[in-house]
């Protein structure tokens, strides 16, 4: 019998190709022995199967618990302005959301490389810290306490959970990555429907109060996070290289996509935050206004799933550009919605077109990585830079609201920023081999 070291394939009768799952298992030891430097062309992806879709479900549970909660801040913005923080200005209150979102994505600069090195096990301590942050927010009374607990601690722990979960999808999916990411991102939309509905009900229709409302929210996210800890895992061996990849910024496509995410984040989150208080100022009841965030995010479920599926067929950058263009148009139309019915219609339309931006922007960054073992770092450092937009946008709009006492300037501001994101997506497409009009 021939030993493995001396075995050669017959020249005229090659062995049949093995399934991707079997081949990838055999490659595992080769990759580890080579220090994780095996050429990317030798890597294979399941692109489906029970295990891969289970990881996608786990990522969806993570996004349900993190982005779903964060996307509900419009409820808290309106509630704080009328109750806990009524003596603070709107721009001061919006700093809580800005710090939370910026910390969440900025943490990706650390969470992405940590995932590349150590795998999905870094989610475990981060999940504990996240539950702790929610419980601590329930005890807050002063502005600085909200900023620390709901802003910094919640944002940092969210980022340490979210980025590894999204990066894990890149280990299991290639051709169907957009579909998997869209399905996972739908978890954030479902969470952003569930959380505002529950929070609004508990705050306005019960005697539980603010503290127990947050504690119940913490108990709700506990189950999905436990499921995610069990099922989300990395498939490829660790990447043994630098924590930061400065060479990535030599790619114009990558730089354009980071800029696109920056402008899109700055523009799209503003209506989501200020829509409830906008509704109240235009005659919508306080209870119905609190459900506007749920309506936006309910509509975004379809906006996050469909573009992911269509993006795999017609081009991921094409779908990101189309969604960004639609979001920009809706931002310009915002102030035309002045009746209760008009505001609800705006919420539905805005939710549908903007839903693809979060998932589409993240997917776009992953296609820049030639080595799938660097997806976490590419996504992490890209989102970290783009996250600075969330630190600037909402407080700037709060200051504009205090200065102009209206939403016309805010509507134009959001629309222009989003259209700038569209131009950056076009710039990224121009740097691809398919060109501006290609299916990419």
Task: Write the CA distances from 219 to 142, 162, 210, 267, integer angstroms.
Answer: 24, 18, 15, 32
| pLDDT reading at 5 higher than 50 | no
Average pLDDT score over residue span 165-182: 82
Structure-derived torsion over alpha carbons of residues 133, 138, 144, 148, reported in degrees to the nearest 10: 0
Threshold 0.85, pTM exceeds: no
pLDDT in tens, 374-407: 777 787 788 888 888 888 887 888 888 888 888 8
pLDDT exceeds 50 at position 55: yes
Q: What is the pLDDT of residue 240?
A: 61
Percent helix / strand / coil, the chain, rounded to 5: 80, 0, 20
313 within 8 A of 112, measured Cβ to Cβ: no
CA distance 279 to 74: 11
Question: In whole angstroms, what is the distance from residue 46 CA to residue 41 CA?
Answer: 15
CATH homologous superfamily of domain 49-236+246-430?
MFS general substrate transporter like domains (1.20.1250.20)
DSSP secondary structure of 84-136: TTTTS-HHHHHHHHHHHHHHHHHTHHHHHHHHHHHGGGGHHHHHHHHHHHHHH
pLDDT at 130: 96
**According to the model, what pLDDT value does residue 310 have?**
76
User: Which residue, among 245, 101, 241, has the nearest Cα to 162 in the 3D structure?
Assistant: 101
pLDDT higher than threshold 70 for residue 118: yes
Q: Which residue has the higher pLDDT, 115 or 240?
A: 115
Single out the residue of 209, 350, 199, 361 nearest to residue 274, CA to CA.
350
Q: Does residue 179 surpass a pLDDT of 50?
A: yes
User: Tens of pLDDT along 185-200?
Assistant: 888 878 888 888 888 8
DSSP string, 179-195: HHHHHHHHHHHHHHHHH
User: What pLDDT score was predicted for residue 148?
Assistant: 95
What DSSP designation does 40 have? G
Paired tokens of 3:
């030993």
Highest mean pLDDT among 8-22, 225-239, 350-364: 225-239
Dist. CA 185–CA 359, nearest whole Å: 6
pLDDT at position 159 over 80 = yes
| Tens digits of residue pLDDT in 74-116 | 778 778 888 888 888 877 888 898 899 889 888 877 887 888 7
**Domain limits of the chain?**
49-236+246-430
Percent of the chain with pLDDT over 70: 89
Which one of 4-18, 133-147, 171-185 scores highest in mean pLDDT?
Answer: 133-147
pLDDT band at 241 (very low <50, low <70, confident <90, very high): low
Residue 15 is predicted with a pLDDT of 40
Q: Looking at residue 9, what is its pLDDT?
A: 44
Q: Which of 5-19, 112-126, 265-279 comes out lowest in average pLDDT? A: 5-19
Dist CA 122 CA 62 (whole Å): 13
């Amino acid at each position: 019998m021939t030993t493995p070291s001396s075995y050669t394939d017959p020249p005229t009768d090659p062995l049949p190709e093995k399934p991707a799952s079997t081949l990838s298992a055999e490659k595992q030891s080769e990759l580890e022995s080579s220090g994780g430097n095996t050429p990317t062309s030798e890597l294979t992806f399941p692109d489906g199967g029970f295990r891969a879709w289970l990881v996608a479900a786990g990522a969806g549970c993570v996004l349900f618990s993190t982005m779903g909660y964060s996307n509900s801040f419009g409820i808290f913005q309106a509630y704080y302005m009328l109750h806990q923080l009524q003596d603070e200005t709107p721009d001061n209150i919006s700093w809580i959301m800005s710090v939370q979102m910026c910390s969440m994505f900025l943490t990706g600069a650390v969470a992405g490389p940590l995932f590349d090195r150590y795998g999905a096990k870094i989610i475990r301590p981060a999940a504990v810290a996240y539950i702790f942050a929610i419980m601590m927010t329930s005890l807050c009374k002063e502005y600085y306490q909200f900023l620390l607990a709901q802003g910094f601690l919640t944002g940092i722990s969210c980022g340490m959970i979210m980025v590894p979960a999204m990066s894990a999808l890149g280990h299991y999916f290639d051709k169907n990555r957009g579909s998997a990411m869209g399905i996972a991102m739908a978890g954030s939309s479902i969470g952003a429907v569930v959380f505002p509905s529950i929070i609004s009900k508990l705050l306005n229709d019960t005697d539980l109060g603010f503290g127990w409302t947050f504690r119940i929210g913490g108990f709700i996210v506990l189950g999905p996070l436990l499921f995610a800890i069990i099922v989300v895992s990395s498939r490829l061996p660790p990447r043994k290289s630098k924590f930061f990849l400065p060479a990535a910024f030599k790619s114009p496509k990558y730089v354009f996509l980071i800029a696109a995410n920056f402008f899109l984040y700055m523009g799209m989150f503003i209506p989501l935050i200020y829509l409830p208080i906008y509704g109240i100022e235009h005659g919508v009841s306080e209870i119905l206004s609190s459900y506007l965030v749920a309506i936006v995010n309910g509509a975004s479920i379809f906006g996050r799933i469909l573009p992911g599926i269509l993006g795999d067929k017609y081009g991921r950058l094409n779908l990101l550009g189309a969604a960004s263009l639609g979001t920009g148009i809706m931002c310009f139309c915002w102030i035309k919605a002045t009746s209760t019915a008009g505001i609800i219609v705006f919420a539905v339309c805005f939710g549908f077109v903007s839903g693809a931006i979060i998932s589409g922007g993240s997917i776009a960054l992953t296609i820049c990585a030639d080595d799938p073992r660097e997806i976490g770092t590419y996504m992490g450092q890209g989102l970290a830079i783009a996250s600075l937009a969330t630190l600037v946008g909402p407080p700037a709009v709060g200051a504009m609201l205090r200065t102009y006492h209206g939403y016309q300037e805010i509507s134009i501001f959001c629309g222009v920023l989003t259209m700038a994101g569209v131009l950056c997506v076009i710039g990224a497409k121009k740097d691809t081999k398919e060109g501006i009009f290609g299916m990419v």
